[in-house]
């Protein structure tokens, strides 16, 4: 009898172990690293979702899989919605050397962080020219880290100034010439109307702050690529003070809308759609306005406003770069796939399908694109003149610290940039929490 | 008098000479609990020591090369940072408010469930529904119910106040209103747990005692404070201890609703931000260790200070 009991308990323990092992193995998910040809592409969500029949990234995966004729197959996995959640998930997978990730859609600002950590494979020398060729300059610069190329430009994004033609005429603004933020503020005050901006404490607010600083001629980081101890910020400067003055004035005068401190792209778009005079936002605005019942006949678009009269503005830049996981076993196939995905033809398909602007300039000269996007040449011009967000391996910390110190916007004053600079350096040196 | 006091020590067996039965029981005890003990060591002790070790370094996951031993440097940074004390203050606030409110509502529900005869099973099931919902889901439900664009709460309040309430009130735009929503969702979700624990305590009270007090002319509140509560003290303390430890770790509601905006960050959220978002493993581990120590402290205060007997009933 006692022996039987022992046997039973051993069997019980074995059963527990087997169950536990099974549960642990299940956590690993689909490991495609075993097959040399199967590539997994982690995409950021676009209007195509995970449906190959819509014209999003999943569609391009299907097109390229068909073209490869068995050389490789691409399957897609959709990343979370928000930019910071996308970064977190990729970072976790990359830090754990997850071989199940081959190709990734990366926000340009995160290339530096991943590359510095050694998570990204360098672009093969023979592929670099073809990927850079004809692509807008800032998006190519974002793909580089310390003079090496770590990612392939896929699509590029920029913000435009949207306005109501009737409102601009009433305020006496000549929109055929570049306008300044100060002029817009004056006009909005006079009309008792609003300027839609993004000033909630999130990445979009950093985009705005950076665009203002860059437009004024300054830079948030003075020595890009430096380590935490040597990093020098350009925030304690006249340019940054000008940027802070614009933000504070818009917030305090109430022309940023009643909930400016919690406004993101969607909220600012709603403010504009509800009768606001001006808005700075990404090109998807053009397709989104009719959906909100706005007659686009009265809607105009112009270059991003100037921070300083007469100084060319530096519009915000966004977009997606494609990177290859350094731990991937299929790197050669992954770069072949990227060459296909980023081809001029596929970028055009993608732009038509999702409204996300292509990285290659030639796409903007395509008659079909010109018909679909009347502001195509303005987008192209803005992309070329764009002021990228600072390239640094500490971008996540820098951005969070920056928008935290600039919040709430109605308390931003000339002293805010210097205060933010001190805080950022403290955080990076491990002397403050974030 | 002296014989009574020494009586237990003479009947108890001296330690070295355990009876065969006691030895056998002890061996069986180890056999039964041993595997679980080993698994516990593997899955809890190892990560705890790893976290303590990591907390002594300045270590960023994206920059492993510049990992540096800083001894207690991270802890000094943390306890001198106002953000940390804000997080601790918020966490204590949420813990105290939710536990007190839950205790009161939970007690009322437990007494109702104890007395009600007819739809007894139905009532117990209905009360349990919120507890069966995953915390993240309940946090989203409250978030969408309160948020300006999708929420109904502002519209209800406007109707109830005959238009005095502002429909565009941003619940997540202020500290107090964010905290109110966070606490309400926490209370809604975990009161059932409290009431079930209290119900088990209520059920153990001998009905005859209450009956006797009633016959002696005790009022409801007298019976409540002199008979019911003293007799279920053990159950109450266990319930409060469990809920306090649980509430102190609050994360989901705050993560979903505010992400720490409007100064609503909490202890766990701060640890998450440093570890997961910033991949500052050293700093994050240090906060986690402090969180662990706080939980130990709370447990110690309850077990030692209030004499909570977790093994209740065993002699």
For chain B (315 residues), the mean pLDDT of every run of 10, in chain order, is: 42 63 90 92 91 92 84 93 94 96 94 83 86 93 87 92 86 89 95 91 87 89 88 88 92 90 90 90 94 92 77 48
Chain A residues with beta carbon closer than 8 angstroms to that of B35: 13, 16
Residues forming beta bridges with residue A75, ordered by sequence position: A40
Q: How far is CA B186 from CA B176, B189, B194, B237, in A?
A: 15, 5, 12, 20
Helix (H, G, I), strand (E, B) or coil at A302: strand
Res. A109: pLDDT tops 80:
yes
Q: What is the mean pLDDT of residues A283-295?
A: 87
Q: What are phi and psi of A160, to 5 degrees?
A: -120, 165
Quote the mean pLDDT of chain A: 87
Put simply, the answer to whether B277 touches A88 (Cβ < 8 Å) is yes
CA B211 – CA B114 distance, rounded (Å)? 15
Res. A23: pLDDT tops 50:
no
Confidence of residue A201 (pLDDT cuts 50, 70, 90): confident
Q: Is B173 on the interface with A (CB under 8 A)?
A: yes
Put simply, the answer to whether B84 touches A393 (Cβ < 8 Å) is no
CA B81 – CA A404 distance, rounded (Å)? 15
CA A428 – CA B185 distance, rounded (Å)? 35
Is the ipTM beyond the 0.85 threshold?
no
Degrees, nearest 5: CA angle B198-B201-B202: 90
Strands (E), A130-201: 144-145, 148-149, 152-158, 160-164, 195-196
Residue with tokens 């807008």: A136
Confidence of residue A133 (pLDDT cuts 50, 70, 90): confident
User: CB–CB of B98/B247 below 8 Å?
Assistant: yes
Burial A352-385 (b: 16+ CB within 10 A, else e): bbbbbbbbbbebbebeebeeebebbebbbbbbeb
Q: Which of A88, A201, A262 is the closest to B170 by Cβ?
A: A262
CA A409 – CA A260 distance, rounded (Å)? 8
What does the pLDDT read at residue B32?
A: 93
Distant-in-sequence, close-in-space partners of A375: CB < 8 Å, separation ≥ 6: A160, A283, A286, A301
Lowest mean pLDDT among A72-86, A326-340, B1-15, B185-199: B1-15
Put simply, the answer to whether B35 touches A261 (Cβ < 8 Å) is no
CA B69 – CA B1 distance, rounded (Å)? 62
Residue with tokens 């600072």: A390
User: CB–CB of B106/B195 below 8 Å?
Assistant: yes
- What is the full DSSP assignment across B146-208? HSTTT-SHHHHHHHHTTT-S-TT--GGGSHHHHHHHHHHHHHHHHHHHHHHHHHHHHHHS-HH
Closest alpha carbon to A316 in A247, A397, A234, A385: A385
Closest alpha carbon to A235 in A35, A84, A422: A422
What does the pLDDT read at residue B298?
A: 92
Closest alpha carbon to A38 in A64, A73, A78: A73
- Secondary structure element (H or E) that encloses residue A301, with its range: strand A299-302
Reported for B202-208, long-range contacts at CB under 8 A and 24+ positions apart, including other chains, are: B202/B110, B202/B111, B202/B114, B202/B228, B202/B232, B202/B235, B203/B114, B204/B231, B204/B232, B204/B235, B205/B231, B205/B232, B206/B231
Distant-in-sequence, close-in-space partners of B296: CB < 8 Å, separation ≥ 6: none
Q: What are phi and psi of A155, to 5 degrees?
A: -135, 160
Q: Is A128 on the interface with B (CB under 8 A)?
A: no
Lowest mean pLDDT among A59-63, A111-115, A282-286, B146-150: B146-150
Q: Is B262 on the interface with A (CB under 8 A)?
A: no
- What is the full DSSP assignment across A3-42? HHHHHHHHHHHHHHHHHHHHHHHHHT----TTSSSEEEEE
Res. A378: pLDDT tops 90:
yes
What does the pLDDT read at residue B209?
A: 87
- The reply to whether the predicted model has a pTM over 0.90 is no
Mutation for A interface: B42, B58, B60, B62, most A CBs within 10 A: B62
Chain B residues with beta carbon closer than 8 angstroms to that of A116: 62-63
Distance from CA of A397 to the nearest CA of B (A): 7
Cβ neighbour number for residue B202 with a 10 Å cutoff: 20
Closest alpha carbon to B149 in B176, B168, B175: B168
Put simply, the answer to whether B274 touches A262 (Cβ < 8 Å) is no
Instruction: Find residues 214-243 of chain A whose CB sits inside 8 Å of chain B.
Output: 227
Res. A123: pLDDT tops 70:
yes
User: CB–CB of B209/B262 below 8 Å?
Assistant: no
Chain B residues with beta carbon closer than 8 angstroms to that of A227: 66
Res. A214: pLDDT tops 70:
yes
Region of B45 on the Ramachandran plot (φ > 0 left; ψ -120 to 50 alpha; else beta): alpha
What does the pLDDT read at residue B315?
A: 38
C-alpha A431, offset from chain centre: 29
Q: What is the mean pLDDT of residues A376-385?
A: 91
Residue with tokens 């073809």: A130
Q: What is the mean pLDDT of residues A379-404?
A: 90
Chain B residues with beta carbon closer than 8 angstroms to that of A114: 62
Residue with tokens 């899955």: B43
Q: What is the mean pLDDT of residues A119-145?
A: 90
Q: Tokens representing B312?
A: 């209740």
Q: How far is CA A213 from CA A152, A236, A391, A428, B183, in A?
A: 27, 11, 15, 21, 40
Residue B75's Cβ-count burial label (10 Å; 0-12, 13-18, 19+) is middle
Res. A5: pLDDT tops 70:
no
Residue B16's Cβ-count burial label (10 Å; 0-12, 13-18, 19+) is exposed
Res. A78: pLDDT tops 90:
yes
CA A239 – CA A231 distance, rounded (Å)? 19
CA A74 – CA A60 distance, rounded (Å)? 9
Put simply, the answer to whether B172 touches A113 (Cβ < 8 Å) is no
* Strand order from edge to edge, sheet including A160-164: A195-196, A278-281, A160-164, A299-302
- What is the full DSSP assignment across B242-289? HHHHHHHT--HHHHHHTTTGGGT--HHHHHHIIIIIS-BHHHHHHHHH
Put simply, the answer to whether A431 touches B277 (Cβ < 8 Å) is no
What does the pLDDT read at residue A403?
A: 92
Q: What are phi and psi of A424, to 5 degrees?
A: -60, -45
- What is the full DSSP assignment across A191-241? HT--EE---SSSHHHHHHHHHHHHHTT--SBSSTT--TTT--B--SSHHHH
Confidence of residue A47 (pLDDT cuts 50, 70, 90): confident
């Amino acid at each position: 009898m006692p022996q039987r009991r022992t046997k039973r308990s051993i069997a019980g323990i074995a059963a527990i172990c087997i169950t536990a092992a099974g549960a642990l193995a299940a956590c690993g998910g689909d490991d495609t690293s075993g097959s040399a040809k199967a590539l997994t592409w982690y995409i950021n969500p676009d209007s195509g979702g995970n449906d190959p029949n819509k014209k999003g990234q999943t569609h391009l995966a299907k097109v390229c899989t068909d073209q490869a004729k068995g050389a490789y197959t691409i399957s897609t996995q959709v990343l979370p919605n928000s930019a910071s959640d996308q970064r977190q998930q990729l970072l976790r997978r990359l830090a754990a050397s997850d071989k199940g990730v081959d190709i990734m859609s990366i926000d340009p600002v995160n290339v530096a962080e991943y590359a510095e950590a050694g998570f990204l494979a360098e672009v093969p020398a023979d592929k670099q020219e073809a990927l850079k060729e004809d692509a807008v300059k800032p998006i190519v610069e974002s793909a580089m880290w310390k003079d090496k190329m770590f990612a392939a430009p896929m699509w590029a994004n920029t913000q435009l100034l949207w306005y109501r033609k009737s409102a601009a005429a009433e305020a006496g603004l000549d929109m055929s010439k570049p306008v300044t933020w100060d002029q817009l503020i004056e006009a909005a005050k006079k009309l008792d109307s609003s300027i839609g901006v993004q000033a909630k404490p999130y990445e979009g607010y950093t985009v705005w702050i950076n665009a203002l600083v860059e437009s004024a001629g300054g830079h948030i980081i003075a020595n890009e690529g430096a380590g935490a101890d040597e990093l020098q910020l350009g925030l304690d400067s006249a340019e940054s003070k000008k940027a802070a003055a614009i933000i504070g004035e818009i917030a305090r005068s109430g022309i940023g809308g009643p909930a400016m401190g919690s406004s993101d792209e969607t909220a600012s778009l709603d403010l504009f759609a509800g009768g606001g005079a001006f808005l700075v936002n990404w090109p998807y605005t053009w397709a989104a306005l009719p959906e909100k019942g706005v007659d686009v006949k009265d809607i105009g678009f112009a270059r991003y406003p100037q921070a300083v009269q007469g100084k060319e503005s530096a519009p915000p830049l966004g977009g997606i770069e494609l990177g290859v996981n350094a731990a991937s076993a299929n790197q050669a196939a992954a770069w072949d796939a990227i060459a296909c995905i980023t081809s001029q033809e596929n970028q055009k398909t993608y732009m038509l399908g999702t409204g996300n602007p292509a990285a290659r300039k030639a796409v903007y000269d395509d008659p079909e694109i010109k018909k679909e996007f009347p502001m195509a040449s303005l987008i192209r011009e803005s992309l070329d003149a764009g002021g990228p967000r600072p390239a640094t391996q500490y971008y996540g910390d820098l951005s969070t610290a920056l928008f935290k110190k600039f919040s709430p916007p109605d308390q931003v004053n000339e002293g805010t940039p210097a205060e933010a600079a001190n805080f950022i350096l403290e955080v990076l040196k491990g002397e403050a929490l974030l | 008098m002296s014989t009574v006091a020494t009586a237990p020590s003479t009947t108890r067996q001296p330690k070295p000479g355990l009876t065969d039965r006691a030895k056998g029981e002890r061996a069986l005890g180890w056999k039964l609990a041993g595997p679980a003990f080993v698994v516990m060591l593997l899955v809890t002790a190892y990560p705890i020591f790893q976290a303590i070790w990591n907390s002594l370094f300045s270590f960023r996951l994206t920059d492993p090369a510049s990992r540096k031993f800083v001894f207690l440097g991270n802890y000094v940074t943390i306890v001198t940072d106002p953000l940390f004390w804000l997080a601790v203050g918020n966490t204590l606030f949420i813990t105290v408010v939710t536990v007190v409110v839950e205790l009161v509502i939970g007690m009322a529900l437990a007494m109702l469930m104890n007395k009600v005869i007819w739809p007894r099973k139905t009532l117990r099931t209905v009360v349990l529904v919120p507890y069966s919902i995953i915390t993240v889901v309940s946090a989203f439900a409250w978030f969408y119910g309160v948020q300006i664009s999708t929420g109904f709460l502002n519209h209800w309040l406007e109707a109830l106040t005959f238009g005095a309430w502002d429909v565009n009130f941003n619940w997540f735009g202020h500290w107090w209103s964010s905290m109110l929503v966070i606490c309400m969702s926490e209370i809604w979700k975990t009161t059932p747990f409290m009431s079930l624990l209290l119900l088990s305590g209520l059920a153990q009270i001998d009905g005859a005692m209450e009956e006797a007090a009633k016959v002696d002319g005790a009022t409801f509140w007298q019976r409540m404070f002199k008979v019911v509560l003293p007799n279920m003290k053990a159950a109450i303390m266990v319930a409060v201890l469990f809920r306090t430890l649980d509430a102190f770790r609050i994360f989901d509601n705050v993560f979903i609703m505010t992400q720490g905006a409007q100064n609503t960050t909490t202890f766990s959220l701060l640890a998450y931000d440093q570890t997961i978002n910033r991949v500052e493993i050293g700093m994050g581990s240090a906060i986690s260790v402090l969180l662990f120590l706080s939980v130990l402290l709370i447990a110690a205060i309850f077990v030692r200070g209030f004499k909570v007997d977790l093994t209740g009933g065993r002699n």
